[in-house]
């Protein structure tokens, strides 16, 4: 008998073969945008920052990274990155629907990840959450995990430089820019509709369809 878990995972995942890259610097409001656009879809979120914060809490350390010893901070951050990468690999093995949450500062890394996903049949998209530098700096001070202003500025500049390249990489049809300076609900409604329509889109890629057919055949044995 097929259980509820079976129906939601692997070959039965309603978001199978869909991957959304989330880009935007610290203070851009990505967490808010991802909740509004993909909340309730059951997609797997890959975010090393969430794991990093968990490790900080477990170690009894402050989430304000400006107060941490750099060596301790960097060691825990690398541990979080490694754990997140392993988790992502497990999700991809089952071809589950993904939200890959990052800043978008490292274009080459995202480009390589996208190519690997494309090659195994995924439909890939990017949600680029954009804000002014002033807004990013102001929101950073209100976050639980505060970053140094200099780091926020550097990341904001790096992310801004990549907007055009991401638009070309994902193509305009699969590249969604969200102006999140005001974060008003009315502004999010059309974005929500677009993202959810992509997530529910029927699988048409021949590589993906072959994988699904093979997995369903295995379940008959």
Is residue 194 in some structural domain?
yes
Is residue 3 in some structural domain?
no
166-193 mean pLDDT: 87
User: Does the pLDDT of residue 4 top 50, yes or no?
Assistant: no
Is residue 181 in some structural domain?
yes
Termini Cα distance of the chain: 14
Is residue 1 in some structural domain?
no
Pick from 101, 118, 3: which is nearest to 50 by CA?
Answer: 101
Q: Coil, strand or helix: which one is 99? A: strand
Is residue 7 in some structural domain?
no
Is residue 4 in some structural domain?
no
Is residue 56 in some structural domain?
yes
Domain, as residue range, for 70: 14-220
Based on the structure, what is the number of domains in the chain? 1
Is residue 77 in some structural domain?
yes
E strand or H helix that includes residue 19: strand 18-23
Handedness of CA 170, 154, 24, 97 (dihedral sign): positive
pTM score, whole prediction: 0.86
CATH code where residue 53 lies: 3.40.50.300
pLDDT, mean over the chain: 88
User: Does the pLDDT of residue 35 top 70, yes or no?
Assistant: yes
């Amino acid at each position: 008998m097929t259980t509820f878990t079976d129906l939601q995972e692997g070959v039965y995942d309603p978001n199978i073969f869909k991957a959304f890259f989330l880009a935007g610097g610290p203070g851009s409001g990505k967490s808010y945008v991802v909740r509004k656009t993909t909340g309730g879809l059951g997609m797997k979120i890959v975010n090393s920052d969430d794991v990093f914060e968990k490790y900080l809490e477990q170690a009894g350390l402050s989430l304000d990274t400006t107060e941490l010893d750099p060596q301790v901070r960097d060691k825990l951050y690398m541990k979080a990155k490694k754990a997140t990468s392993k988790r992502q690999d497990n999700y991809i093995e089952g071809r589950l629907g993904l939200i890959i949450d990052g800043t978008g500062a490292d274009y080459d890394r995202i480009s390589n990840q996208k190519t690997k996903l494309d090659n195994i049949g995924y439909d890939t998209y990017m949600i680029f959450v954009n804000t002014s530098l002033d807004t990013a700096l102001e929101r950073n001070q209100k976050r639980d995990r505060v970053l140094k202003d200099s780091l926020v500025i550097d990341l904001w500049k790096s992310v801004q430089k990549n907007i055009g390249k991401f638009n070309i990489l994902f193509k305009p049809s699969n590249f969604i820019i969200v102006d999140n300076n005001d974060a008003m609900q009315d502004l999010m409604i059309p974005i929500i509709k677009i993202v959810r329509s992509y997530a529910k889109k029927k699988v048409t890629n021949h590589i993906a369809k072959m994988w699904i057919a093979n997995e369903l055949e295995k379940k008959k044995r």
